Amino acid sequence: MDLNPKKQQLLKALEGKLPQEVILSKSEDCAPYGGDWTRMTGSPLLVFLPKTTEQVALILKNCNELKIPVIPSGGRTGLSGGAVVTANEVVLSLSRMSKISSVDLLGRTVRVQAGAVTEAVHEHCAKEGLLWPIDLASKGTCEVGGNLSTNAGGVRVIRYGMVRKWVSGLQIVTMNGDVIELNRGLEKNNTGYDLIQLMVGAEGTLAVITEATLKLVRLPQKEKVLFFSLPSLEAIKQLFKKARLAPFEILAFEFFSQSCLKAVEKQLNRRSKLDKPGEFYVLMEIELGLGSEPEDLLEQWLVDVLGADFVIDGMWAQSSTERKEIWGLREGITESIALTHEVRKYDVSVAVSQIVEFITEAERLFLSMNLEADLYLFGHFGDGSPHLNIVRRDTIDHKTFVEHCDRFEKELYLLIKKWGGSASSEHGVGLLKKSWVAMAKTPQEMALVKAIKTAFDPNHLLNPGKIFSL
Ligand code: 2HG
Ligand code: ZN
């Protein structure tokens, strides 16, 4: 028999008020909800899987009264530990609230519940020729509530920006059980503080998002995927300059190093279709204009680029299968590296115009420290957002690896500061980037942040310890 008094009190307070299937109490049933893709994990006190906003409100209100901390949970694909259980908190999973309403064609919006899976929203809106333009490798598992709470990025930020641009209404529930509608999907509503934008990126520390009105765009019509091998980072910059001046819209401009490609090729057991390898690769997705002969313009551009000395090889996908194959090489990197190795991840951003200089210096720093680890470089070149994955060599154990990474991290954060960048470009802060927040924000800024937290959640019970410690 489980004697945890808080657990017994909460179950008693909710007795007869919630259907049985909403509550998981056996530790083996709760365990999968304790962690995320960082592989950090903890044991939830209880897991709730509500089906309605009223149930969310009831759970939060009772937890508040009993002073029990709550972790809101989406698809748990985060890479910063934002949804990880650390001290036996209750987990509130929104996964069973996954309804997607019909698309509002005039308003170009769709109303969804927070547990809707991102890819399901894409498929739903595609039937109307529309798109919620958030595209990330985890789209088949991550949920809209998590996307909003972390202000997710992804591979199309260069074209559409981050998640915060694509929401015009939120329903939230505060810790005391109040249900609040924010902005009601209005395009224009100039009435002071924008609480939606405060909720986006709050990582579930202020209130729980239960529904959202998402803004949509026309589905790109004529997409093309191009793939290049290049000799250096400087060459990527030159290609990017050419692409910026080209007669088409860039939807994605992603890069990765040869070691990343090799890891993915090994895992997928197939080779890239480029004949000549390079130190780096670029996947570029574009949308052709709707005017006459756009393909001819692209062909001319490609011939010109392939003739330049900074490109080793290049191709353009000839079918949707080939397009998916090329995207598979980019989207498979995280998994391919993590499957066989222990990894420490850095999700950095600097001004787009300085990305090459920054990566060069970061790489130099890494090599100068002679760590028993390898550096895998990839990410969103066109957003100034490289991912640095540090991979443990077999010559050291886990403990030594952590020490090596901690040493590197200190220096890396100083470097990021020097370049005026950020140590969390798109993965959020969670548990892993807290030292960066403490270092990057002034005491005055932190005091305001903490005052906002206290205004929403006076007992400090929502996702405690994430982003900052109180
Ligand atoms: C990506 O861009 C994701 O693929 C994951 O943000 C990055 O694994 C990583 O470090
Ligand atoms: Zn990324």
In CATH, what is the architecture of 341-438? Answer: 2-Layer Sandwich (3.30)
Tens of pLDDT along 392-409?
A: 999 999 999 999 999 999
Ligand 1 atom index nearest CA of 331: 4
Tens of pLDDT along 409-420?
A: 999 999 999 999
Tens of pLDDT along 196-250?
A: 999 999 999 999 999 999 999 999 988 999 999 999 999 999 999 999 999 899 9
Residue 215 C-alpha to ligand 2 middle, in angstroms?
22
Nearest ligand, measured from the Cα of 389: 1
Nearest ligand, measured from the Cα of 376: 1
Other C-beta atoms closer than 10 Å to the C-beta of 273 total 14
Judge whether residue 291 has pLDDT over 90. no
Please give the biggest Cα pair distance in the chain.
73
* Spatial distance between the Cα atoms of 306 and 275, rounded to a whole number of angstroms: 13
Q: Quote the crossing angle between the two packed helices 5-14 and 53-65, to the nearest 10°.
A: 140
Ligand 1 atom index nearest CA of 378: 2
Residue 218 C-alpha to ligand 1 middle, in angstroms?
26
Pocket of ligand 1 (CB under 6 A): 137, 334, 345, 379, 387, 389
Torsion of CA 184, 185, 186, 192, to 10 degrees: 60
Ligand 1 atom index nearest CA of 379: 2
**Which of 103, 131, 99 has its CA nearest to residue 112?**
99
- Quote the tokens at residue 283: 């996947």
Atom 6 in ligand 1: residue holding the nearest Cα: 154
Atom 5 in ligand 1: residue holding the nearest Cα: 334
Q: Output the CATH code of domain 223-317.
A: 3.30.70.2190
Other C-beta atoms closer than 10 Å to the C-beta of 385 total 21
Residue 82 C-alpha to ligand 1 middle, in angstroms?
15
Q: Read off the pTM.
A: 0.96
Query: Quick one: pLDDT at residue 28?
Result: 96
Residue 268 C-alpha to ligand 2 middle, in angstroms?
20
Contact 410, 373 (CB under 8 A): no
Q: Which of 36, 163, 264, 347 to mutate to test the pocket of ligand 1 (most atoms within 8 A of CB)?
A: 347
Tens of pLDDT along 163-186?
A: 999 999 999 999 999 999 999 999
Ligand 1 atom index nearest CA of 346: 10
Residue 323 C-alpha to ligand 1 middle, in angstroms?
20
Strand partners, 366: none
Instruction: Give span(s): CATH 3.30.465.10, the chain.
Output: 109-218
**Overall average pLDDT of the 64-71 stretch:** 98
Ligand 1 atom index nearest CA of 334: 8
DSSP 80-104: S-TT--SSS-EEEE-TT---BPPPB
Contact 359, 387 (CB under 8 A): no
Residue 137 C-alpha to ligand 1 middle, in angstroms?
8
What SS3 class is residue 455? helix
Ligand 1 atom index nearest CA of 389: 10
Contact 167, 213 (CB under 8 A): yes
Residue 77 C-alpha to ligand 2 middle, in angstroms?
12
Judge whether residue 293 has pLDDT over 80. no
Instruction: Give span(s): CATH 3.30.70.2190, the chain.
Output: 223-317
Q: Which of 80, 136, 151, 381 to mutate to test the pocket of ligand 1 (most atoms within 8 A of CB)?
A: 136
* Spatial distance between the Cα atoms of 389 and 340, rounded to a whole number of angstroms: 13
Fold of the domain built from segment(s) 5-93: 3.30.43
Ligand 1 atom index nearest CA of 137: 4
Residue 168 C-alpha to ligand 1 middle, in angstroms?
27
Strand partners, 256: 281, 378
Residue 59 C-alpha to ligand 2 middle, in angstroms?
34
Ligand 1 atom index nearest CA of 345: 10
Q: Which of 334, 337, 377, 381 to mutate to test the pocket of ligand 1 (most atoms within 8 A of CB)?
A: 334
Terminal Cα-to-Cα distance of the chain (whole angstroms): 34
Confidence of residue 252 (pLDDT cuts 50, 70, 90): very high
Query: Quick one: pLDDT at residue 341?
Result: 84
**Which of 142, 148, 189 has its CA nearest to residue 166?**
148
Atom 8 in ligand 1: residue holding the nearest Cα: 334
User: How many Cα atoms within 13 Å fall on the side-chain side of residue 52?
Assistant: 6
What pairing do the DSSP bridges indicate for beta strands 179-182 and 109-113?
Answer: unpaired
- More confident: 129 or 296: 129
**Which of 78, 81, 92, 87 has its CA nearest to residue 33?**
92
* Spatial distance between the Cα atoms of 134 and 167, rounded to a whole number of angstroms: 11
Residue 381 C-alpha to ligand 1 middle, in angstroms?
12
Exposure string of 229-255, with b = 16+ CB inside 10 Å and e = fewer, is bbeebebbbbbbeebeebebebbbbbb
Nearest ligand, measured from the Cα of 77: 1
Tens of pLDDT along 91-137?
A: 999 999 999 999 999 999 999 999 999 999 999 999 999 999 999 99
* Owner of token pair 């077999």: 394
Query: Mean of the per-residue pLDDT values for the chain?
Result: 96
Query: Quick one: pLDDT at residue 1?
Result: 61
- Quote the tokens at residue 162: 């981050």
Tens of pLDDT along 139-160?
A: 999 999 999 999 999 999 999 9
Confidence of residue 340 (pLDDT cuts 50, 70, 90): confident
Residue 380 C-alpha to ligand 2 middle, in angstroms?
6
* Spatial distance between the Cα atoms of 325 and 265, rounded to a whole number of angstroms: 11
H/E element, 340:
helix 333-340
Question: To the nearest whole percent, how much of the chain has pLDDT over 90?
Answer: 95
Contact 91, 47 (CB under 8 A): yes
DSSP 372-423: SEEEEEEEEGGGTEEEEEEEE-TTS-HHHHHHHHHHHHHHHHHHHHHTT-BS
Contact 263, 381 (CB under 8 A): no
What SS3 class is residue 259? helix
What SS3 class is residue 294? helix
Residue 426 C-alpha to ligand 1 middle, in angstroms?
9
What SS3 class is residue 325? helix
Judge whether residue 452 has pLDDT over 80. yes
Tell me if the domain spanning 109-218 has CATH number 1.20.1560.10: no
Instruction: Give span(s): CATH 3.30.43.10, the chain.
Output: 5-93
